[in-house]
Structures are given as C-alpha cells and as structure tokens.
Structure 1
Amino acid sequence: MSPRLGTRHECGVLVLTTNQPEDHSFWVDIGTAARSGQFALGLLFFSQDCFPPELIRNRMSEHASGLVYAACSTAGEIGGPQSDTGQCLAVLFPKNNFFATTVRIDGIRSIGFDRIVAQVKEARQTFERASNNLGKDADQGEIFAVCLIDGMSVVEEMVTAALHWALEDIPLLGGSAGDSMRFTQTSLIHNGDIGDDCALVLFFKSAVPFKIFKTDNFVPTERKLVVTRSDPERRIIYEFNATKAATEYARAVGIDPSSLSPMSFASHPLVVRVGGEYYCRSVQKMNADGSLSFFCAIDDGIVLTVAEPTGMTRSTNEAFENVVREIGDVDFVLGFDCVLRRIDAQNRQATQRIQKIYQKYNVVGFNTYGEQYLSMHLNQTFTGIAFARPAQNTGERT
C-alpha cells in the first residue's frame, strides 16, 4: 500500500493521509491546499508515537501557516493507507460548502462548568453573527459542532454537559484524544499551540446535508455489579459487591483475574441504565492493587450490568444503511470510534468486515478514549456525521 493517499470528495472535502513521518510531499500537499485559499479549516488526527506533536506543529507552521486547524493524538486512525495506527490524517473543509471557526478551552480539570458554558456560549454567538454576515447564502446550511478533548482529563462528562448547555440546539459530536493505549498523556494542537488538559470546540455551518448518528453492539445480561468503594474523581473502582473490583469483575465474566487485559474489557463491557437506555462504562485498565480504572464517570452505589457484544458487523452496517435511507448516498463520514470496539473486532476476527463498511462509506476519523454525542460522553460506541453525496460519481484520487 502506498504510504500516501489523497481523496477529494464531491462536497470538496480533501483528505490526505500518510504513514511516513518524513513524507515531505504530505506536508507540501497540505501547504498547497492552504495557499489556494479554498479551505476554511483543517482537522488532523495523528499517532504521537510516530508523529510527535512538535513535528505536527513545525510542519504545519512551515507549510500551512495560514490555515486554521485543530489536531489531536489518537488510539488509532481510520481512513488511511493502513488499518491500525501509526498514521497522520488531514481533513480539509472547503470554504464554498463550510463556514468554520474554533475555540480552545484550557484548564478543563479546574475551570468549572459555568466558565466553560460562558466561554462556549460567547464563541457560539460570535460564530452565529459571523455566519449570518456571509451574504446571500447566509440562510443556507445547518450548524453542528465537533469536540476534541483530552482523553486523560477524567472530566469529559462535565465538559460535554457544559457544551450541550452552551450550544443549545446545535448538535454535538466528537472524541476523546488517545495516546496509543499508554494512558499517560494525550496531545491537542490548536493553530500551533500544543497542550493537554483542554478541549477544542469546532463550529461548522454546512451547505452539505448531514446526519449525526451513533451505533453500538452490546446487550445487557442479568449479572450485576454494585460499586461499593470507588474514587469518582479519578474514575477508579476498588470494590464491586464488597469484593476487590478486578476479582469480582473477572468472576462475573468468567475469566481468571490474572488473565484480564484490554481484550477482556472490550469483550465484556459494563453498562449503566439511564432513562431506560443502557450506556457503556468501559474499563480502561486493571491496576496493580486490583482496582479498575474506567473511561467514564463512576461513583459509589452505581449498579453496573455486565453486557455482551453482539453482531458488530450487522449493527454497524444497519446504522449506515439507516443514514442512507434518511439523506441518500453518503459522500464521506467523519467518525469517532472507541478503541475498545477496534479491539473487540480484532478479538472476534471482524476487523476486515468493519473496515469494508468504513471504506464503503468513506469514513475518516480516529479511535478514541471516549465519544461525545449530543449531551452524553460514551464508551464502546461509534459516533459519526455523514455528509450526503451531491452526485453519483465517486471521489477523485490524487
């Protein structure tokens, strides 16, 4: 497979990818696109094991200093020349179909709900005023927002709720940045500024019809685990049912505690019932003391249910088919897919089938440490925004 691949979709979105950190032509292509003045904003998703954030910043400064962009590190990339991780993907949105702006929220671990609401509400109002001053086409198109957030911040629920409150009726989706399953430090870049403990919010007004959607593939069982001792601030559970957490979890899923691994957690997610629906509260890792760290919020007294994944290929395909029924043929999809779904697909030898679905619908995105969807922070879910195809011809390869 070629180390570099480019696609210009029918809506004008340009996708460039590489798996070679020293691929000079990749950065030259981004620079050429930026200097054309045709693009409103760039999104970059990168493996920081292969593409250090400083490299991203320096190359963008050298080749595309005039392009507004947001970037985040991943737990895997979707849509490039290889199927796992070790890539850098650039998604450039054209001005003729998209109006876009960005805002960076710093210090999300300490800033508090009200200050996030105020900052995002001000940014939203500024965006709406600017988009309404575009001229005769101002009334054309719908608005959506994308969130990229530090996946090690442990405050995604609070931030997502604050964003939902500030955005009002603007739909939100996004993903938590990853660090290739090291669980040490993620990286986000906003126009050259590198950091963590932050969130990037991107506002889009799209002249292209779109549909925001999600899909998961788990069903609850009858097996219950009650959180009897935890550290909610750090998302650590020490005890289930008054027993060491790892031991009780392993018993509930029928695995020897010494065999617990990311594959175990991906194959046997835990879910919580909220408003009649079940949402994943996925295990991130087992700690040396037998406690379990989680990707989502937990607390004492919460009742978690052991779930079993079922039919990932079927449920994923059905979700995309439902989108097609609603908006017609899909041009491309910006997708945020939990890393545990990728691991579970590998466990069940479904990776190639899932990849074929993503390739069919031109999915570009990354594997996350959590997904944002409207007002919810989720796990073990695919969230995406599908853009309708304006014509029948396929994207042009470059």
Structure 2
Amino acid sequence: MNPRSGTRHTCGVEVITTGQPDDQAFWIDIGAAAQSGQFALCLLFFSQDTFPPALITGKMATFADGLPYAACSTAGEIGAPDGDTGQCLAVLFPKKHFLTVPLRIDGITSIGFDRIVTQVKEARQTFENASAQHHNGSGEGDVFAICLIDGMSVVEEMVTAALHWALEDIPLLGGSAGDSMRFTRTSLVLNGEVGDDCAIVIFFRSTVPFKIFKTDNFVPTERKLVVTRSDPERRIIYEFNASEAAAEYARAVGIDPGALSPMSFASHPLVVRVGGEYYCRSVQKVNPDGSLSFFCAIDDGIVLTVAEPTGMTRSTNTAFENVVAEIGSVDFVLGFDCVLRRIDAQNRQATQRIQKIYQKYNVVGFNTYGEQYLSMHLNQTFTGIAFARAEPSAGEQS
C-alpha cells in the first residue's frame, strides 16, 4: 500500500494521503493542521475496506478534535502518488482563502423535495450571514457548493434537483459515495456522525479563482433499447423491447449474457437524449432474474441508446486544457470521477495516460457511483472544480 505523502498548494490547501490504516504520522499531520487553527474544513475520501468509518471518526476525535470535517466512502480514490486505491485522502482548506458552512440532510429516501429545499435554504442563510462577516464584510470571493450523497439511495436526481432549486445561483458539483463496487452500503461522516441515507452539502466562499467543468467521452450509436417494464423507484429495468433486459442489452452490444460484467457496462454505456444532449444511464449490475439495476433514474417508455466510449485520454486532456485557457495555470482540481470511467480506462489500457493527466493538474478526489453537476445527476462523467495557481507572497510556503 501507498506510504503517506503530503502536498501544500500555492493557495494553502494541503493534501495528505496514506494507504495504511495504522499510519500514525498521517493522523498526526492532520492533528497539526487542526491545532494550527488555520484551516476551515477537512474533506476525507476513504476506502471503507481499508479504513472503516469507526477508524476515521476515532482518529479524528483523537488527533483533530475541533477541526470541522466531512468524509465519504468511495469506489476508488484519486490523488495517491502512484494512483493506487485503498487510500484515505485528506484535503484541508485554509481559512485565509475559504469560508465553509456544512449541512447534513438525513433520511433523503423519505424526507421529500420540499423539506430538503427548506433545510438548504436555512443553511444558505447561515452561510450568507457568515459571508457578510468574512473578510471584514467585504464579501470577497465567489461561491460554490459541494455535495456528497449516499450512492445506494437511488434518489440522487430528486436530491440534486432540490439542491439546485434551493441554491439558485450557487453552482453545485459533487459525487455519490461508493463502497468499492460491493453495492451494499456507503458511509458519509460529518463531524464524527456516521450514516447512510443522507447527503452532505458544503457551502464554500473562495478568494481563489476557480472553474467548474465536466467531461465525458461517449458517442451514441444507432442501436436503441426501449424500456417496456421497470421499477423506477428501485432503478431496475426488467424488459427492453418486451424481452428480458439483460439478454436484450447483451444482444445489442454483442456480448453473451453470461459474460456481462462492470467492464461490459463501462465499455457499452446507455445514454438518454434530453434537450438535444445525451446523458449516461449506466448499468450498475445484473440481477439473478435477468433484470438490470442502474446508477441513474429510469422509467417505462424511455428510449435508451447504446453508446461507445471513445478517446477518453484526448477528451479528458482537452477539458483540462480548456480550463487552463480560461483561468490560467491550475493549482489543483477537486474531482469526482465515475467508477465506470476508471474501469473503462483499465479495459482500454489507458489508466496510466489518465493518471498522468490527473497528476499534471494535481487532481484529488474519488471514483463515484454518480456525479452531480449543477442541476443534473450524471453517470460516466468527470466533474471537477479547478483552482487557479497564484504565486505565493513573500514568506509563504509553496
């Protein structure tokens, strides 16, 4: 497993990683950051196979008591020096450049749209009040919001829509928590409280210029699948074109039904056309009865198109180059990358090329069970926020 490593970016954000749950130096470093009083928030992305949630909360209580933090389990981590997974990543945001206000929304599968909107609006008012006092009332900097959602909740679309409604002009991005492709239970933590069936929303005001962006690399084909029987609440499709879903999907992509796997779903995504654009509706798994579970919302009558991923390296590199053209040199990127993109990169032997791009732009984040971007819940997409690099002032450590 990866040894501990740490990086401090020009804006003062610190990133610390480890692949060893017994790495005391990792927690000591986070503790030192907490004791300095210089940091507003710590984000933690962790493999719960290696780092159980109880370990996270226990270590943070011991070493970093008083430091606000939000954490979620992943389907893989982004940011270890060698690109390995099974990690715990800590991203520390300095008070000098960031104001943060977190909110945890519990019971998202039953709470309903209106109550989510109410909670987010109340938190937004708290954030705006804090912003009015920040930087001596100058209101300096721009705002955005990060969302971490239980990736097994099957309500990400509703939650994202409610957040977008309540946030109004505040841009949103984020990712659905994972559990290393076990599809059993994910974990989210806010300041020591662990749970699932919840979402964590974090308001940020940043004096560091930033750019929110997304990229994908799928191209629609002429092959169509019509949903003829489904369970929308559980995101399960039983039939395509009045035939068993798994068998019909396998026929459409040219694979034996018995050979369907996450690699198949990554290499042959399904997309739906909305407003002239195509969005992924990725398959999560095959069920014993031949039905298919999905990562995104589905319903009877939807026409899904078989797509083919193409040029992931090229499209990813172009997206980052476009960000540089807009904001200049990139300091680091907080990224949420669909786990199916990672699987597809492995399948096409493009993993090292993608990792080089992520390392070049200092991407830190995690592989998700879905991505949030503005008002949309997406699949097989990278969503990120890039922070501009600034030359450190005299006496500052870079």
Q: TM-score, normalised to structure 2's length?
A: 0.98
Q: After the TM superposition, which residues 209-228 of structure 1 pair with which residues of structure 2 at under 5 Å, given as runs?
A: 209-228=209-228
1:52 matched to which residue of 2?
A: 52
Q: Deviations over 1:41-66 (max 9, x none)?
A: 01000000000000000000000011
In 2, the alpha carbon distance for the partners of 1:44 and 1:383 equals: 18
> 1:168-247 maps to which residues of 2 (within 5 A)?
168-247=168-247
Counterpart for residue 295 of structure 2: 295
The offset of 1:115, in angstroms, is 0.1
What residue in structure 1 maps to residue 110 of structure 2? 110
Q: SS at the partner of 2:134?
A: coil
Aligned to 1:90: 90
What is the 5 A alignment of 1:258-297? 258-297=258-297
CA distance in 2, matches of 1:134, 1:332: 24
Deviation at 1:2, TM superposition (A): 5.5
Distance 2:96 2:50 in 1: 33
For 2:7, the aligned partner's letter is T
Which residue identity does 1:250 align to in structure 2? A
| TM-align CA RMSD | 1.3
Instruction: For residues 207-251 of structure 1, give each alpha carbon's deviation from its aligned partner in whole angstroms, at most 9, with x where no partner exists.
Output: 000000000000100000000000000000000000000000000
Cα drift, residue 391 of structure 1: 2.1
Per-residue CA deviation, residues 292-319 of structure 1 (Å, 9 max, x unaligned), is 0000000000000000001000000000
Structure 2: distance between partners of 1:137 and 1:2: 43
Asked if the contact 1:328–1:389 (Cα under 8 Å) also holds between the matched residues in 2, the reply is yes
**Are the counterparts in 2 of residues 323 and 386 from structure 1 also a CA contact under 8 Å?**
yes
**Aligned mates of 2:170, 2:211 — CA distance in 1:** 13
Give the Å deviation of 1:137: 5.9
CA distance in 2, matches of 1:288, 1:263: 18
SS at match of 2:30: helix
Structure 2 residue matching 1:70: 3-state secondary structure:
strand
Local SS of the residue matching 1:136: helix
> Identity of paired residues, percent?
81
Q: Say whether 1:249 aligns with 2:260.
A: no
**CA 1:274–1:391 in structure 2 vs 1: closer, same or farther (change >3 Å)?**
same
Alignment match, 2:21: 21
How much does 1:380 deviate?
0.1
Please list every run of at least 4 consecutive aligned residues from structure 1 whose deviation after the TM superposition is greater than 3 angstroms.
none
Q: CA deviation at 1:201?
A: 0.2
Matched, 1:342 2:349: no
**Cα offset, 1:126, TM superposition:** 1.0
Aligned to 1:359: 359
2 CA distance for matches of 1:219 and 1:237? 23
Q: Secondary structure at the match of 1:221?
A: strand
What is the match of residue 8 of structure 1? 8
> Shift of the alpha carbon at 1:133?
1.2
Q: Distance in 2 between matches of 1:392 and 1:29?
A: 22
Aligned to 2:79: 79
Q: In the aligned structure 2, how far is the partner of 1:137 from the partner of 1:164?
A: 26
Q: What's 2:307 paired with?
A: 307
- The one-character-per-residue Cα deviations of 1:347-373 (angstroms, maximum 9, x if unpaired) are 000000000000000000000000000
> How many pairs does the alignment contain?
396
Partner amino acid, structure 2, of 1:389: R
Q: CA distance change for structure 1 residues 247 and 84 in 2, over 3 Å: closer, same or farther?
A: farther
Q: Which runs of 5+ in 2 are unaligned?
A: none
Q: How far 1:256 moved relative to its partner? A: 0.6
Paired residues of 1:15 and 1:89 also in contact (CA < 8 A): yes
Measure the CA separation in 2 of the matches of 1:135 and 1:32.
25
Whether the 8 Å contact between 1:4 and 1:81 is mirrored in structure 2 is: no
- The two structures have a TM-score, normalised by structure 1, of 0.98
Hey, what's the Cα distance between the residues in 2 that align with 1:53 and 1:388? Answer: 33
2:136 match: secondary structure: coil
| Contact 2:2-2:82 at 8 Å conserved across structures | no
Q: 1:6 to 1:137 in 2, by over 3 A?
A: farther
- 5+ residue gaps in structure 1? none
CA contact 1:338–1:379 (8 Å) conserved in 2 = yes
- How far apart are residue 84 of structure 1 and its match? 3.7
CA contact (8 A) 1:7 1:396 kept: no
